[in-house]
A and B are shown apart, each in its own frame.
Chain A
Amino acid sequence: MSAIFKPSANFFARFSLVLVATVLGGGLLGLWGYFRTPYAQGLQEEIAQPILFDHRHHVVDDLIDCRYCHFNAERGASAGIPSTEMCLNCHAQIWNKSPKLEPVRRSYFTGAPIEWNRVHQLPDFTYFNHSIHVSKGIGCVSCHGRIDQMPAVTKVASLQMSWCLECHRNPAPNLRPRDQITSMTWQPPDDPAAAKTLAADLMKTYDVHSRVSCTTCHR
């Protein structure tokens, strides 16, 4: 027997070749896919908060406008997280004995701030400003989703750069009248033509520009 390899060697040789190819190709494809999965983007991830705050209740049942607590959304870079004081504006009167609100009262009297867990987190080198978006007619729901249906706030938009760019390149479809900014249910007219015209004159009336210069967001 002179041959150094068995006939089966041929199969193994080719099989290993195929294996390498699939691993490489599949790996790249998998990576591409992975970053487009809700998991990688951290979507639909319920984030535990120190207090069981339920937006559904406050928005739907109590019909509190977003801007009552997030009062800074219209005039500042960040929408602002309400201070303990603000919670107690109401909860000094109602539910002021509720054990659920104990942490709030503790914070108020000890002066130790409540530490919430951030849900919508941009890299620190990305400068997002709420006021300009709100004033140009971008609704809360466009980025934050149906807060009014969330027991605990979860991220609904990837917040990846390509996602931001979609709208920055072509804002029109995402515009809405200013008085509908905080509406969770507003929809553009069903008739596409009407929607187009509405978008068009919102662009005009609010003087909306498409801004894709790097320094718009990175400084």
Chain B
Amino acid sequence: MPSMKSLPVIQDEPRAPGHRSLWQSVEELEARAAVSRGEFAAGAAEVPPELSRRSFMQILGASAALGGLAACQPPREKIVPFVHEPPEDRPGKRFHYATALSFDGYATGLLVGAADGRPVKVEGNPAHPASLGASSTWEQGALLDLYDPERARGIWRKGQPLSWRGFLAEIQQLAKVHDADGGARLAFLLAPDASPTQADLLRRIQARFPKARFHAWAPITEENAAEGARIAFGRPLDARPSLDAARAILSLDADFLSGHGESLRLTREFARHREPGAGMNRLYVAEPAMSLTGANADHRFRMRGTEVASFARAVAVKLGVVPIAPALSPELALAAKAVAADLSANRGRSLVLAGARQPPAVHALAHAMNAALGNVGVTVTYSRPVLGEAAPSAASLPALAKEIQAGKVDTLVITAWNPAHAAPAGLDFGALLAKVPNAVYHSIREDETSRRCSWRVAASHPFESWGDGRSRGGVASLVQPLIAPLYESVSTIDLLASFLGQGDRGAMQHVKAYWMARSAIDPAFFEPQWERWLRQGVVPGTAEASETALVDVAAVASSLGRLSLPKGDGVELAFAPSYGLFDGRFGTNAWLQELPDPITKVSWDNAAYLSEATAKRLGVADGQVATLALGNRSVQAPLKVMPGHADDAVTLALGYGRSDGSAVSKGVGVDAYPLRDAGAWFAPGLSVKAGKGKHKFAIAQGHFGMEGRPLALDFTSEKWGHAEGGGELEHLRGMPATLQVPVDYSKQEYSWGMSVDLSRCTGCNGCVIACQEENNIATVGKEQVAKGRIMHWIRTDRYFSGPAADPETITQPVMCQQCETAPCEYVCPVNATVHSEEGLNEMVYNRCVGTRYCSNNCPYKVRRFNFLNWRPEVPNVQTLLFNPDVTVRSRGVMEKCTYCVQRIEGARIDARAGGKKIGFVQTACQQACPAEAIVFGNLNDPQSRVRKLHDDARRYDLLHELGTRPRTAYLVKIRNPNPELA
């Protein structure tokens, strides 16, 4: 049996590496979880499956006596101890393991917290360059996928189950057959992955089958960037922006604050320079639909996706990079002039970024501009592509399709995500798959593709398997399992190894072997090295060195010349990855489905976004269902007017409208793939015909205006300059007049507080999912969200100001403000919400009877009520997801943010048991936040960061005049507009 030693990051005392058979302990854990049958169970379904009947009977006979009995005498539990104590088992103690999660090829380092041997919380790995301790909605969401009861299980061939050994034998046979012709009839359709071990395996497979074809494919690729680099430098290079030094940033449709890869690092660098002062950066964004990045821009220029090139070119002309200026609308021309001026004013401290959706020429032009501005080496560096061969190409799928058509493929191994669903328009890849005798589909879930494949191999979740990966920039991390596969499943490495007859060697051996070979360390000394890497989560000395690269301006110019500019004023359709589901791979993830879109706040849906003017021109209205047609292809999609959307353009997010996957993903939203050519981003000549019927959206925030109320405040940098120390904010902070004698918290050792910096917050929603994961917050589904019953404890309010066509945006995370004179408390008839000595507004779920009075009286409306039992029955496997430190709330109970009191109390116990003081406590939202916008800590500690921020000149209290004295302070957002454009 292969050793499956996982090593925690934080270790209290050195312990001899023991062996743990997790299979066993998992069952035990399930048993443990399953026995909780309290009226509230921590870490288990709070109500037994036979809820309705049970509780109903209970209610019928409800009386003081029964209530009392029910409250104090739950049925007797079982205690199920281990048979073999795992080495680092400490009941209830949380261990963090360093691992990494690869996403379209690029890895982000994580620390995954495991309680009693089950992963329950995902955090970023501070030591990892792509995370810096933060984590995005997608990394957080991965945990829910792990425990998804609808995951694929086992290995199947033509509907017959196969054992792992049986499968290996079969593959041996196949391999022998293919040996004959050097693998001429063998093909691989691979998900992009920078894993060195995997690359090594592929090389060896290629060696065995020289004629085999390897296609890397994903619905969303960055080919344009690569091609752009090839044009500019004559060879493919990865451009790595660094915003630390950048003072003027021009984003050409580049949504660098979201998406995968490095958005976390970029967000942090961007946010760090959003405080007023000399170091403050200025962001220009040119884009069609409002993106997260656009929402954070100081100047946002809305234009159709294909017009961005012209704009870029206009800027470039002003910078003297290329000659001929294109035709532009006067205001855009003006903008281009100002932007160019600002960029050149910040020579060497500016940056031009081109988005993945822009054609190669624009990327090339961006490179040229950066070179001209002397930014290379300062705000942008170039290095060898990390993905290299594994870089996905949209063309690969049609190519493969041709081969299949020609009957050149007998065996096709697919690790790429769901090609049958995401295949380009007009290509029925599913049907082709049926033609392949041995189509082996390796996926974590049964989906549109697996239905068509003769072989289905369940994939292990990254948290269940050994492996490795590389971040953008090349830093390698090891992937170690936190739990044995919950279902019979296979890791990618094991699958590929099986084609080398090494499928039974165990993924860990492959990984270890590769790194041992690579590190060239004497095997005797390798082990400690290996353990250090596992603990740190990064392998030192693996980053790609930056290379000097010279721009071939002529080539750039000519590529621009070849660029086809948009003709006529037809409506243009733009595709975009969805913020929740990316390309659709998260469609089965209820957290991400329910997560409101950061801009439109639409939940459980995508929609055809368009500007108000365009809607008027086309004679359609918000919420109408319309037919979007490109030539002879068409889809039915609901329309949504999006403030700030470019005119004559419609944006449709990818990833929705799945016909399969799971109960969660089925039939949610509209499938955009039937309209999309391979790798296409912008399609001209869209016809929009209003159809019958209105679509009912589930929108988490219906009202976008602030109605002139002082809620989310912003200043321009110069206005702030004159505001000498935020004098204008004085009436929004400090102790309001009161008849109550204020309780004195200064004597307390700790008095907890929080601050939220609106200048830093980008509205990425990372905090929302982190909170949901930490606090066992339920998802409620589309109907309930539409009814206004979404359960998120922290929400990112987003307000628009200025002209609806082209508004300014501000996002404001709002969670319980922990008011010192909390309006919710005095109205609760049963003392279910009261104050702690340290100033927390406590919510005692087991005391709550659910009058909802507290919520009515909460001016911030941050309380959430369990209107129904959101978890009628929880599959045992999902009970493993629950954070055991937080009560799972039952029906009829109010819940809310508690500043992660379970973390505070945990830290207190750990500290005081050792006679120490409470050290560093982070709330889940704070820990996830890439922008460091949320800071939590002890207000009574003059050194603490939160104390300093509470005394900051930008500090103000939300709804200060109500005299609620919130413990959460907000710092006003500072905008940094260009005076020339003001």
Contact of A115 among B80, B93, B909 (CB under 8 A): B80
In the bound complex, do residue A85 and residue B84 qualify as a contact, i.e. CB atoms below 8 Å apart? yes
With the chains together, A116 CA to B93 CA distance in Å? 22
Q: CA of A40 to CA of B844 in the docked complex: distance in angstroms?
A: 25
Chain B residues within an 8 Å CB radius of A76 = 90-93
Q: How many residues of A contact B (CB 8 A)?
A: 48
Contacts of B913 in A (CB 8 A): 75, 131-132, 134-135
> Is B909's CB under 8 angstroms from A85's CB?
no
B846 close to A85 (CB less than 8 A) = no
Of the residues B77, B91, B846, contact of A118 by C-beta under 8 Å: B77
Contact between A213 and B79 (Cβ–Cβ < 8 Å)?
no
Given contacts A127-B42, A207-B915, contact A117 B78 (CB under 8 A): yes
Instruction: Give the docked Cα–Cα distance between A78 and B884 (Å).
Output: 13
Bound-state Cα–Cα, A116 to B80, Å? 6
Contact of A116 among B78, B84, B902 (CB under 8 A): B78
> Could you give, for residues 897-910 of chain B, a 1 whenever the CB lies within 8 Å of some chain A CB and a 0 otherwise?
01001101100010
Chain B residue at minimum C-beta to C-beta distance from A78: B91
Cβ of A81 < 8 Å from any Cβ of B? yes
Complex contact A218–B845 (CB within 8 A): yes
Query: How far, in angstroms, from A127 to B883 measured CA to CA in the complex?
Result: 13
The answer on a CB contact under 8 Å between B79 and A116 is yes
Q: A124-B38, A132-B913 are in contact. Are A218 and B887 (CB under 8 A)?
A: yes
A58 to chain B, nearest CB (A): 16
Q: Is A44 an interface residue (CB 8 A)?
A: no
Asked if A83 CB lies within 8 Å of chain B CBs, one says yes
With A77-B91, A123-B38 in contact, do A218 and B844 touch (Cβ < 8 Å)? yes
> Which B residues are in CB contact (< 8 Å) with A95?
none
- Pick from B44, B92, B836: contact of A124, CB under 8 Å: B44
CB contacts (< 8 Å) of B912 on chain A: these are 132, 135-136, 207
Contacting residues, chain B, for A81 (C-beta < 8 A): 79, 81
Do B78 and A115 have beta carbons less than 8 Å apart?
A: yes
Q: Is A142 an interface residue (CB 8 A)?
A: no
- Asked if residues A77 and B92 are in contact (CB atoms below 8 Å), the reply is yes
A208 nearest in chain B by CB position? B912
A117 contact set on B, CB distance < 8 A: 76, 78-79
CA distance A105 to B665 in the complex (A): 48
Within the assembled complex, what's the spacing in Å between the Cα atoms of A77 and B41?
16
Distance of B535 from chain A, by nearest CB (Å): 21
User: In the complex, which residues of chain A have a beta carbon less than 8 angstroms from the beta carbon of B846?
Assistant: 123, 125-126, 218
- Contact B905–A124 (Cβ < 8 Å): no
Contact B74 A121 (CB under 8 A): yes
Please state if A219 and B85 are interface contacts (CB–CB under 8 Å): no
Given contacts A85-B84, A123-B74, A207-B912, contact A219 B836 (CB under 8 A): no
A124 touches B42 (CB 8 A): yes
- CB distance A127 to B836 under 8 Å? no
Partner-contacting stretch, out of B65-73, B226-234, B269-277:
B65-73
> What per-residue 1/0 map shows which CB atoms of A47-63 lie under 8 Å from chain B?
10000000000000000
Kindly state the separation between the CA atoms of A191 and B71 in the bound complex, as whole angstroms: 41
Provide the residues of chain A in CB contact with B844, threshold 8 Å: 214-215, 218
Q: Give the residues in chain A near B68, CB-CB below 8 Å.
A: 31, 35
Residue A113 is within 8 A (CB to CB) of chain B in the complex:
yes
Q: Which residues from chain A contact B904 at a C-beta distance below 8 Å?
A: 215
B40, A219: Cβ atoms closer than 8 Å:
no
- Please determine whether A219 and B83 come into contact, CB atoms closer than 8 angstroms: no
How far apart sit A111 and B31, CA to CA, in the bound complex (Å)? Answer: 14
Say whether A118 contacts B81, CB under 8 Å.
Answer: no
By the criterion CB–CB under 8 Å, are B901 and A124 in contact? no
The answer to whether B92 and A125 touch across the interface, beta carbons within 8 angstroms, is no
Q: Kindly state the separation between the CA atoms of A40 and B72 in the bound complex, as whole angstroms.
A: 9
Instruction: For B91, list chain A residues within 8 Å (CB).
Output: 72, 76-78, 80
Dominant SS among interface residues on chain A = loop
Q: How far is the CB of A6 from chain B (nearest CB, A)?
A: 37
A42 close to chain B: CB less than 8 A = yes
CB distance from A4 to the nearest CB of B (A): 37
Contact A112 B83 (CB under 8 A): yes
Which of B39, B76, B77, B836 is within 8 Å of A213, CB to CB?
Answer: B836
Give the interface SS of chain B, mostly helix, strand, loop or mixed. Answer: loop
Q: Which of B811-835 contact A (CB under 8 A)?
A: 834
A123–B845 Cα distance when bound, in Å, is 12
Tell me, in angstroms, the Cα distance from A215 to B818 when the chains sit together.
14
Known: A214-B842, A215-B898, A218-B844. A121 touches B76 (CB 8 A): yes
Report chain B residues within 8 Å CB of A83. Answer: 81-85
Q: In the complex the two chains form, what is the Cα distance from A77 to B31 in whole Å?
A: 19
Evaluate contact between B845 and A125: CB separation under 8 angstroms.
Answer: yes
B65, B92, B845, B902 — which one has the most chain A CB atoms within 10 A of its CB?
B92
State the CA gap A75–B74 with chains docked (Å): 27
| Residue in B closest to A80 when the chains form the complex, CB atoms | B91
**Which residue of chain A is the closest to B79 with respect to CB atoms?**
A116
Residue B438 interfacial (CB < 8 Å)? no
Contacts of A121 in B (CB 8 A): 74, 76-77
Whether, in the assembled complex, B336 has its beta carbon less than 8 Å from a beta carbon of chain A, the answer is: no
Which chain B residues (898-952) contact chain A, with CB distance < 8 Å? Answer: 898, 901-902, 904-905, 909, 912-915
CA distance A31 to B68 in the complex (A): 10
User: Which residues from chain B contact A115 at a C-beta distance below 8 Å?
Assistant: 78-80
Q: Which residues of chain B have C-beta atoms less than 8 A from A124's C-beta?
A: 36, 38-42, 44, 74, 887
B19-42: CB near A (< 8 Å → 1, else 0) gives: 000001000100100001011111
Interface residues of A in 11-70 (CB under 8 A from B): 31, 35, 40, 42, 47
- Asked if A84 CB lies within 8 Å of chain B CBs, one says yes
Q: Given A113-B83, A132-B909, A219-B901, are A125 and B78 also a contact pair (CB < 8 Å)?
A: no
Cβ B83 vs Cβ A118 within 8 A: no
Q: Judge whether B150 is part of the interface by a CB distance below 8 angstroms.
A: no
- Cβ contacts under 8 Å, B847 to chain A: 214, 218
Q: B741 at interface (Cβ–Cβ under 8 A)? A: no
CB distance from A124 to the nearest CB of B (A): 3
Residues of chain B lying within 8 A (CB to CB) of residue A126: 846
Set B41, B72, B909: member contacting A160, Cβ < 8 A? B72
- The answer for the CA separation of A112 and B898 in the assembled complex, in Å, is 40
Q: Is A185 an interface residue (CB 8 A)?
A: no
Nearest A residue (CB) for B39: A123
Given A72-B91, A135-B912, A213-B842, do A125 and B79 touch, yes or no (CB 8 Å)?
no
Judged by a CB distance under 8 angstroms, whether A182 is at the interface is no
B837 at interface, CB cutoff 8 A: yes
B885 touches A219 (CB 8 A): yes
Query: Are B915 and A78 in contact, with the CB atoms below 8 A?
Result: no
Kindly supply a per-residue 1/0 record for chain B positions 32-68, scoring 1 wherever the CB is within 8 Å of any chain A CB and 0 otherwise.
Answer: 0000101111101000000000000000000011001
Asked if A195 CB lies within 8 Å of chain B CBs, one says no
Determine if A107 is an interface residue (Cβ-Cβ < 8 Å). Answer: yes
Q: Say how far B662's CB is from chain A's closest CB, in angstroms.
A: 29
Given contacts A42-B73, A77-B91, A114-B81, contact A219 B38 (CB under 8 A): no
Q: Is the CB of B81 within 8 A of A113?
A: yes
Nearest CB of chain B from residue A214's CB, rounded to whole Å: 5
Most buried by A among B82, B845, B915: B82
Q: Is B840 an interface residue (CB 8 A)?
A: yes
Docked Cα-Cα span, A213 to B887, in Å, equals: 17
Central interface residue in A82, A127, A216, by most chain B CB within 10 Å:
A127
With A81-B79, A124-B38, A125-B42 known to touch, is A214 a contact of B836 (CB < 8 Å)?
A: yes
CB-CB contacts below 8 Å: A125-162 with B: 125-127, 129, 131-132, 134-136, 160
> In the complex, A213 Cα to B837 Cα: how many Å?
7
Considering only residues 71-130 of chain B, those with a C-beta below 8 Å from chain A are 71-74, 76-85, 90-93
Inside 8 A of A107's CB, which chain B residues have their CB? 83
Q: List 11 A-B contacts (CB under 8 A).
A: A40-B73, A107-B83, A115-B80, A123-B74, A124-B36, A124-B44, A207-B915, A213-B842, A214-B844, A215-B840, A218-B887
Q: A77-B92, A118-B78, A215-B901 are in contact. List 9 more A-B contacts (CB 8 A).
A: A72-B91, A75-B90, A80-B81, A111-B84, A116-B79, A124-B38, A129-B92, A214-B842, A218-B842
Closest 5 CB pairs of A and B: A124-B38, A77-B92, A213-B836, A81-B81, A125-B846
